[in-house]
Copies of this chain bind each other. A is one copy, B any other.
Amino acid sequence: MMAHKFINEIGPGETIDDIYMVKEPVLRSTTRGDFYIAMFLCDRSGRLNGRMWQATETAYKSLPKPGFVHIQGRSELYQNNLQIIVNNISVVDASKVCIEDFLARTDKDTKQMFKEVKEIVGRIKNPHLKTLVGEFLTDGELMEKFCKCPAAMKMHHDCLGGLLEHTHNMLRIAVAVLPFYPKVQVDLVLAGIFLHDIGKTEELSYDMAFSYTDSGQLIGHVVKGLLMVNKKSDALAAKGTTIDESVLDALGHIILSHHGEYEFGSPKLPATAEAFMVYYIDDLDAKISQVTAAIDNELGDSNWTAWKNALQTRLYRKRIEE
């Protein structure tokens, strides 16, 4: 199979014969009354306007909104903007598509990261937490999602595998930092980190693009995570293994409070040393990742990035002499 021609690699006057995602197709008529379809053609590198002239209403109706399509056509400049003139368009099943062409993917090795995650949470000794975490690890379908899900829609780790990468980072930091705080309970911190964002697997959808599920928007990953922990605990109880209520509450509290402030959607503020630990490690990894990515992704050679609203500053990226 031929390599995908990325949107940001297309120049004017090229022949196009590849799969793209079509978004927001609309049927319009020209001043002469002919129909044409205007659309966006996208992949993870960007998007272009597409125009299909002499289109029919049937052709329009057949298009997914959004979805994958095979495009044959040609690129051209129109008023100094590149666009694609579409001659043929046909729907492509998502299973035939290399999803990495359309969604960014972590550049780390997910198998290796997941192996390390399992190794670290494998150190948990408390039998209740050990059993509960085991119930998650042996849920193959969920772990597959866990390894594939992004950590966020934007801001940080917004890529396939981002949730795994973020969780992996946090666990490694916890392992490095916990020895300096001997009074903080290791098992709760490790289990809390492993599960703090597990609700993202139900909050986010990432088949063609990153988006929120309806349920995700109505309930949110913070509470969804707690619900998933309770379901696993109920499933264990049905199999005869009872997870202690106070362990469940202490773990649940970490999940509920890990955003650290009410205004970020935590219904509870951290009230245990372990909850504070998870909150700060989460924030540290998220912000440092966001900042270094923003510095990397900035175009041009200015010493300063554009204004970053979430950080309320521009970022300075000139390095000291090395």
How far, in angstroms, from A277 to B222 measured CA to CA in the complex?
24
Which residues in window 255-307 of A have CB below 8 A to B? 256, 262-273, 276-277, 280-281, 283-284, 287-288, 291-292, 295-296, 303-304
Interface size class of A (residues with CB under 8 A): 35 or more
How far, in angstroms, from A176 to B173 measured CA to CA in the complex?
7
Residue A314 contacts which of B172, B217, B315, B319 (CB distance < 8 angstroms)? B217
The yes or no answer to A309 lying at the interface (CB within 8 A) is no
- Residues of B within 8 Å of A12, CB to CB, are 29, 31
How far, in angstroms, from A102 to B166 measured CA to CA in the complex?
46
The yes or no answer to A312 lying at the interface (CB within 8 A) is yes
Contact between chains at B320 and A217 (CB < 8 Å): no
Contact between chains at B291 and A273 (CB < 8 Å): yes
Contact between chains at A271 and B218 (CB < 8 Å): yes
With A28-B80, A292-B183: A249-B315 Cβ-Cβ less than 8 Å: no
Interface stretch of the complex, out of A14-22, A52-60, A147-155, A240-248: A240-248
- Residues of B within 8 Å of A230, CB to CB, are 227, 230-231
Contact between chains at B256 and A219 (CB < 8 Å): yes
How far, in angstroms, from A292 to B218 measured CA to CA in the complex?
18
- Give 13 new A-B contacts, CB below 8 A, not counting A217-B304, A218-B252: A126-B321, A128-B321, A177-B284, A219-B252, A246-B320, A247-B320, A270-B313, A271-B313, A273-B315, A277-B284, A280-B280, A280-B283, A284-B284
